[in-house]
Amino acid sequence: MHLKIQTRNTEISRRFEEWIERRLWFALAKFGGRICSITALLEDINGPRGGVDQRCRAEVLLAPSTRISAEATDADAVVAVSRAADRIARRVRDALERQRSMRARAKANVPEMPSAQCDDLERQAHS
């Protein structure tokens, strides 16, 4: 799992960057085997004018090729990162549950072939 942190219109300390990494790992570690990469973008929307303008956008690439994103905005960058981490974790969980239930439904809808037909198909494949 690859993690990348980007910033736009703001600078963050190395210590804060490490905290962001830990927060995202904590939120997403249980899905580790399915996650290919995580990207977090922290930006100051209004620049030096202040206000509720710290946005964190998190994007996860799930195997094989599903992109999931979530974002949160707050006056405090720490709160924005925490909310975005919680949201992306919920969305990843929901996406994986949907995939699992779709596979189960697809498997349940496949009619079983009588063994005689299976044997015929195997013989045809090998001839």
17-49 per-position pLDDT tens digit:
999 999 999 999 999 888 999 999 999 988 766
3-state SS assignment for residue 43: strand
What pLDDT sits at residue 3?
92
3-state SS assignment for residue 75: coil
Residue 122 in this model has a pLDDT that exceeds 70: no
Domain boundaries, the chain: 2-126
Instruction: Identify the residue whose tokens are 């549950």.
Output: 97
The single-letter DSSP state of residue 45 is S
Average pLDDT over residues 6-27: 94
What pLDDT sits at residue 113?
52
CATH of domain 2-126: 3.30.160.100
